Amino acid sequence: MTEGIANPASGVYAKSAMLDRSLPTPLYHQLQSVLLERIQSGEWTANDRLPTEEQLESQFNVSKATVRQALNLLATSGFVRREQTRGTFVAEPRIELGPCKLTSFGEEMRAHGLRPASRVLVKDIVKAEGDVAGKLRLEEGQSVFCLERLRLAGGQPMGIQTAYIRADLVAALLDQDFESGSLYELLGKKCGLAPEYAHETHFAVLLDREQCALLEVPEGSPGLAAERLTFLAGGRPLELVYSVMRGDRYRVTLNLVRVVKDRV
């Protein structure tokens, strides 16, 4: 991953971009808008390092508290990432997920112009226990195929996904290469199984040390976790998948429609 340095000579400090103290808008909001404009215009691109807090204080004649409020707003919104001792960097664009078609990780990444790949961490037959057995409607101890992969896009780690499928349904998959192949494609071609629909739940987590190492993020970073239960036509459970994705690269977008009930 290459890193550039945002260039103060680019015009970010031009008089037209200076803050207006006569406006009722707080200075930190004005500063946030000036910096955000440089990011959204493409003047600063992903992984460029922003000027230091001291440089921003000097150039805009504001306090350190004002600079930090502006940068924190940008970080909370996902436009920059702040790294201790290293500075503030333009964040990579986030992948947006929402209620849509039942797709594979590879299909999602290609739709965003990214090349998908995987590194297999676990590929084995294990005993179904707890939630895995219950949600797949199996007896405790029945065999399931477990496939855990580090998912990559454009060469960067994006998430860790662990899939569980009834072993008797997917015997033909045990010798398959999952570094580049799609599980859904192989389910169709090798096993004659077609996922019909799924229920998926998203929730926020703090990544543990091992997850942070695999995803190449600082310890204690936030993650976006998901649980997906996929069904065959007729309602038979096919697959249970647990995912933990990088919190700095994903967000969920929902399109909501208000339903107004008739009033009596």
Q: What is the CATH number of the domain that holds 193?
A: 3.40.1410.10
- How many domains in the chain? 2
Q: How much of the chain is in helix, strand and coil states, percent to nearest 5?
A: 30, 30, 40
What percentage of the chain reaches a pLDDT higher than 90?
16
Q: Report yes or no on 61 lying in a domain.
A: yes
Q: Are 34 and 162 in a shared domain? A: no
Residue of 143 and 6 predicted with greater confidence: 143
Q: Are 62 and 158 in a shared domain? A: no
* Amino acid (one-letter) located at 75: A
Q: Are 133 and 223 in a shared domain? A: yes
Q: Are 199 and 133 in a shared domain? A: yes
Q: Are 137 and 195 in a shared domain? A: yes
Residue of 107 and 212 predicted with greater confidence: 212
Lowest mean pLDDT among 7-11, 140-144, 247-251: 7-11
Distance CA 93, CA 114 (A): 11
Per-residue model confidence as pLDDT tens digits over 52-106: 999 999 889 899 999 998 898 788 667 888 888 888 998 876 655 555 544 555 5
Distance CA 184, CA 196 (A): 11
Distance CA 221, CA 246 (A): 8
Distance CA 59, CA 35 (A): 13
The answer to whether the beta carbons of residues 230 and 238 sit under 8 Å apart is: yes
The domain that contains 62 carries what CATH number? 1.10.10.10
Q: Are 99 and 207 in a shared domain? A: yes
Q: HSE (CB half, 13 Å, CA atoms) of 85?
A: 1
Does 124 score more than 70 pLDDT?
Answer: yes
* Residue where a domain terminates, one of 54, 73, 90: 90
Q: Are 100 and 209 in a shared domain? A: yes
* Residue where a domain terminates, one of 47, 63, 90: 90
The answer to whether the beta carbons of residues 241 and 162 sit under 8 Å apart is: yes
**Neighbour tally for 168: CB within 10 Å:** 10
Q: HSE (CB half, 13 Å, CA atoms) of 237?
A: 20
Q: Report yes or no on 40 lying in a domain.
A: yes
Q: Are 74 and 100 in a shared domain? A: no
Q: Are 132 and 213 in a shared domain? A: yes
Q: Are 86 and 100 in a shared domain? A: no
Q: Report yes or no on 191 lying in a domain.
A: yes
The CA radius of gyration of the chain, in Å to the nearest whole number, is: 23
Assigned token pair, 161: 């996904």
Residue 92 is classified by DSSP as P
Does 11 score more than 50 pLDDT?
Answer: no
The residue range of the domain holding 45 is: 8-90
Say which residue the tokens 């910096």 belong to.
35
Q: Report yes or no on 220 lying in a domain.
A: yes
- Identify which of 40, 24, 112, 41 has the alpha carbon closest to the alpha carbon of residue 74: 40
Does 28 score more than 90 pLDDT?
Answer: no
Q: Report yes or no on 100 lying in a domain.
A: yes
Q: Report yes or no on 257 lying in a domain.
A: no
Q: Are 52 and 179 in a shared domain? A: no
Mean pLDDT to the nearest integer, 7-29: 63
Q: Are 148 and 226 in a shared domain? A: yes
Per-residue model confidence as pLDDT tens digits over 191-216: 887 878 888 888 888 889 999 999 99
* Residue where a domain terminates, one of 56, 90, 124: 90
**Per-residue confidence (pLDDT) for residue 50, from 0 to 100:** 92
Lowest mean pLDDT among 79-83, 113-117, 146-150: 113-117
**Per-residue confidence (pLDDT) for residue 20, from 0 to 100:** 83
